[in-house]
Structure 1
């Protein structure tokens, strides 16, 4: 029996889903991973990355997992595992950093959306080369920002940081390709 090749996207889907199960089963689990300026100012820099492991409910989780699969698969195929992992990491870092820098100190952030928006940013630049229509991506990005502003409770600063980080990494890595 031939085993399927494990992908970064598939591994992340499994890690994030498992983390959510732990979150709903363990009291205080999310407190160890959520993002806030206070924690960063006190040296808990790992939270810039662990924020992607906790979510605000099943819908939040589902949207991020579906988006990760839909956006991540063509990017991983196009860039390869190492460059794709770099895009994910930089997107998450940039999203978390902008969230910490621009949000009021009382705001807590959760979720993988900064990283997901980095995938939007990367696909906006290389979408057609990766087999995705970039106009569709731009429409989805725009709708997400509109709904984020309209509904509230969405860390648009983290989304924007991830979008910028993913786009910049795709630009740099695509030139090196």
Structure 2
């Protein structure tokens, strides 16, 4: 007498559950909500929260690197970053919450360091805004498909390039008051994080080739 044991579907990990379209949208919307609340407080008090941003070339301004992406010079500045941040953040989160977090940390730190080290001008220059983060997510998505050779991610890269490719001109010196230094740092950081976080995917084809080459037919 034989019996069959039903095979239960594997439970999704927390990373997988939070990387689905709706949870991913909620997470990115939550980050945007933090930015909106901080800007509302800054406008209502006024609390001058921008002073918590990156004070260029001042040692005590380095901690502002972690805070600056959530602060903006008014709601017009915030809205200019909101839509691309939501779209690019959502697309990045669909690739995994852990990857989004790691990519974001790398982008924020490197973008902030570029803004801190390369921003010059009379008096103290304070840099705030999520645009460096946005530039980093943009180049991360563009490069990820190339590094992983994943068809789905390549399609996403093409769509992102069509929608936001022209934004990349923002890495060049231009209008006064725009931190092209932070944009450049974010863009380079996005490329670096895409390369680092795709190492496992890049090794898989090589591992498969080695396995096939080493296998021998058995009779």
TM-score normalised over the length of structure 2: 0.68
CA contact (8 A) 2:65 2:112 kept: yes
1:12: which partner in 2? 31
Unaligned runs of 5+ in 1: none
Question: Is it true that 1:28 corresponds to 2:54 in the alignment?
Answer: no
2:113: which partner in 1? 97
Q: What SS does the aligned partner of 1:129 have?
A: helix
Distance apart, 1:126 and its partner CA = 2.4
* Distance across 2 between alignment mates of 1:33 and 1:93: 15
2:142: which partner in 1? 124
Distance of aligned partners of 1:41 and 1:26 in 2 relative to their CA distance in 1, 3 Å threshold:
same
Tell me the C-alpha RMSD between the 2 structures. Answer: 2.3
2:212: which partner in 1? none
CA distances 1:35-69 after superposition (whole Å, capped 9, x unpaired): 1135x513x54311101121112221012111111
Greater RCO, CA 8 A, separation 6+: 1
Further displaced range: 67-76 or 45-54 = 45-54
Question: Is it true that 1:161 corresponds to 2:179 in the alignment?
Answer: no
CA contact (8 A) 1:23 1:54 kept: no
CA distances 1:6-63 after superposition (whole Å, capped 9, x unpaired): 643222111111111111112233244221135x513x54311101121112221012
Paired residues in the alignment total 169
* Distance across 2 between alignment mates of 1:61 and 1:138: 17
CA contact (8 A) 1:51 1:112 kept: yes
2:11: which partner in 1? none
Q: Which entry has the higher C-alpha Rg, 1 or 2?
A: 2
CA contact (8 A) 1:124 1:137 kept: no
Q: Which residue of 81, 88, 92 corresponds with 1:71?
A: 88
* Distance across 1 between alignment mates of 2:163 and 2:193: 17
Unaligned runs of 5+ in 2: 1-21, 146-151, 202-219
